[in-house]
Amino acid sequence: MYILLIVCRCSCYVVECHVVRGWKQELAGWRTGVVMATLMGSFVKHLFIMLISITL
């Protein structure tokens, strides 16, 4: 009986670890995407301002 309980606990823990790890990776990827988009946005904005200042 105890062995079954231990096995169940272990399998639940393993599944939880996999889910949490996957979720953390997803979150990290999303955060990286947001940072990249922000950097690209600021870069494009600076480029646009430079172009306007050159044309003026």
Q: Which residue has the tokens 């996999």?
A: 18
Q: How many angstroms separate the CA atoms of 10 and 5, rounded?
A: 9
pLDDT of residue 30: 86
Please write the tens of the pLDDT for every residue from 37-55: 899 989 999 999 998 898 8
Please state the pTM of the whole predicted model: 0.47
HSE, CB side, 13 Å, CA atoms: give it for residue 37.
6
pLDDT of residue 1: 66
